[in-house]
Amino acid sequence: MQHEAQNEILDEILASSSLEELQTVKTKYLGKNGLVTSQLKEMGKLSPEERKAKGAEINALKTSLEGAVEARKEVLEQAALEAKLHSEAIDVTLPALHFPVGGLHIISRILADLEGMFGRLGYRTVLGQEVEDDLHNFDALNIPWFHPARDLWDTFWMTDGRLLRTHTSPMQIRYMLEHTAPLRITVPGKVYRYEATDATHESMFHQLEGLLVGDNIRMSDLKGTIAEIARGLFGPSTKVRFQPSYYPFVEPGADFSVWWENPRGESKWLELGGCGMVHPSVFRAVDDLREALGKPRTYEGKTGFAFGLGAERIAMLKYGIPDIRYFYQNDLKVLGQFRGELETLSILEAL
Ligand code: DAH
């Protein structure tokens, strides 16, 4: 084969721009039916001298073409690798993707905080039931059916005579039926009131009930406990005030407030809940029920205190939320503000 023809083939090899194209060119000349191969096959027809000269020529051509194909292959493979690396490159300077994960509802956080604080004071968390009966929600708490104090709790009655608990206090009764003093419990949970909704009233909200029973428990123990919790919630210098109040299940009874230092200067006392010393009638009712269940009367002569905190009220105070209805409209723009930093993980932190 002439020199020009060889150069043309070499050009063709060099011009192939992909491995597939190169393969096609290779097959065309060096494949089983390729031009070079078929020339070799035809050598049988030549005389021995011609065959020798021609053979050397074709073999040289073949070697040179094979070398060129190999060289081109390496170049194309390198280019393909670089293209792949380039297309798969990661820009480590791009901002990380944020995957927002759900957070605890602000009320759950308040209740969890309270549980932690009371836990450190030795209180055990117990849960009551939301569908209650008259006996536990009212009667045993010294609120007989004819007592005008029943009007303090607007009640959702069910057709079977049961009711949605209007406070977490019924769990005081249920717990004392099963346990003897000394005891210390808190009861977080939902309560229901048959009321018109406005900025400070919802028909469902959350309370945290507390009950401590033992020997020689005094009002000062109650005040110290409430003050400790108020300071845990609002800071160590929080001022707490107790004012006489009436709840049938305590005597004396009180409402407690914290002094709210508002940055705009509208500071005032804001009420957090009610409390008092457990009324002897409550202990008597518990002992009567225990007796009816065949259990010993163990509460006579005991002393204790009880309190009820409103979780929404605490959240509204702590975060300056003006309307209780925001909690349950479930607008993520509102709830997201109180979710807390920790619950938003970036992809890098998550890895
Ligand atoms: N149960 C009361 C309410 O819902 C709150 C309360 C007041 C609870 C005084 C108590 C207490 O345990 O001692 O309005």
Check pLDDT > 70 for residue 335.
yes
- In terms of C-beta density within 10 A (0-12 exposed, 13-18 middle, 19 or more buried), how is residue 223 classed? middle
Check pLDDT > 50 for residue 346.
no
Mean pLDDT of the chain: 90
C-alpha of residue 275 to centroid of ligand 1, in Å? 6
C-alpha of residue 257 to centroid of ligand 1, in Å? 14
C-alpha of residue 217 to centroid of ligand 1, in Å? 18
Best of 136, 150, 167, 279 for a ligand 1 pocket test (most atoms within 8 Å of beta carbon): 167
What's the pLDDT tens digit per position in 286-316?
Answer: 999 999 999 999 999 999 999 999 999 999 9
Check pLDDT > 50 for residue 351.
no
- For atom 13 of ligand 1, which residue has the closest CA? 275
106-350: which CATH architecture? 2-Layer Sandwich (3.30)
Contact (Cβ atoms closer than 8 angstroms) between residue 179 and residue 304? no
What's the pLDDT tens digit per position in 78-121?
Answer: 999 999 999 998 888 988 887 777 778 899 999 999 999 999 99
Give the model's pLDDT for residue 70.
Answer: 93
| Region class of 283: left (phi > 0), else alpha (psi between -120 and 50), else beta | alpha
Q: Report the C-alpha dihedral over residues 327, 328, 330, 333, rounded to 10 degrees.
A: -20
Best of 137, 165, 247, 283 for a ligand 1 pocket test (most atoms within 8 Å of beta carbon): 247
Best of 143, 204, 226, 249 for a ligand 1 pocket test (most atoms within 8 Å of beta carbon): 249
C-alpha of residue 169 to centroid of ligand 1, in Å? 6
Query: 158-167, 177-186, 328-337: which range is least confident on average?
Result: 328-337
- Phi, psi (5° rounding) for residue 278? -55, 130
Give the model's pLDDT for residue 3.
Answer: 63
CA angle 198, 201, 205 (to 5 degrees): 135
C-alpha of residue 337 to centroid of ligand 1, in Å? 30
Confidence of residue 344 (pLDDT cuts 50, 70, 90): very low
Give the model's pLDDT for residue 266.
Answer: 77
Work out the percent of the chain whose per-residue pLDDT is above 70.
Answer: 95
CA angle 198, 202, 206 (to 5 degrees): 145
Give the model's pLDDT for residue 56.
Answer: 85
Give the model's pLDDT for residue 73.
Answer: 93
Query: According to the per-residue pLDDT averaged within each range, which of 103-107, 158-162, 319-323, 338-342 is highest?
Result: 158-162
Residues with CB under 6 A from ligand 1: 167, 169, 209, 247, 250, 253, 274-276, 306-308
Nearest to 314, CA basis, from 211, 222, 238: 238
Contact (Cβ atoms closer than 8 angstroms) between residue 212 and residue 225? yes
- For atom 12 of ligand 1, which residue has the closest CA? 307
Q: Report the C-alpha dihedral over residues 116, 117, 118, 120, rounded to 10 degrees.
A: 80
Check pLDDT > 70 for residue 275.
yes
| Atom number of ligand 1 nearest to Cα 152 | 14
- For atom 8 of ligand 1, which residue has the closest CA? 308
| Atom number of ligand 1 nearest to Cα 250 | 13
Look at the block and give the residue holding tokens 């010294």. Answer: 142
Query: Does residue 347 or residue 103 have the better pLDDT?
Result: 103
| Atom number of ligand 1 nearest to Cα 166 | 4
C-alpha of residue 307 to centroid of ligand 1, in Å? 6
Confidence of residue 342 (pLDDT cuts 50, 70, 90): very low
- For atom 7 of ligand 1, which residue has the closest CA? 274
| Atom number of ligand 1 nearest to Cα 169 | 1
Over residues 204-210, the mean pLDDT reads 98
What's the pLDDT tens digit per position in 30-60?
Answer: 888 888 888 878 887 888 888 888 888 888 8
Q: Which residues are catalytic?
A: 153, 167, 193, 207, 250, 306
Confidence of residue 340 (pLDDT cuts 50, 70, 90): low
Over residues 306-329, the mean pLDDT reads 92
Query: 23-32, 114-123, 138-147: which range is least confident on average?
Result: 23-32
This prediction's pTM: 0.72
Distance between CA atoms of 138 and 99, rounded to whole angstroms? 48
Give 303's contacts (C-beta < 8 A, 6+ positions apart). 213, 214, 215, 216, 217, 218, 277, 278
Q: How is the chain split into domains, by residue range?
A: 3-87, 106-350
Check pLDDT > 80 for residue 166.
yes
Nearest to 121, CA basis, from 207, 258, 226, 218: 226
Give the model's pLDDT for residue 102.
Answer: 76
Check pLDDT > 70 for residue 1.
no
Check pLDDT > 70 for residue 345.
no
Query: Does residue 251 or residue 108 have the better pLDDT?
Result: 251
Give the model's pLDDT for residue 343.
Answer: 43
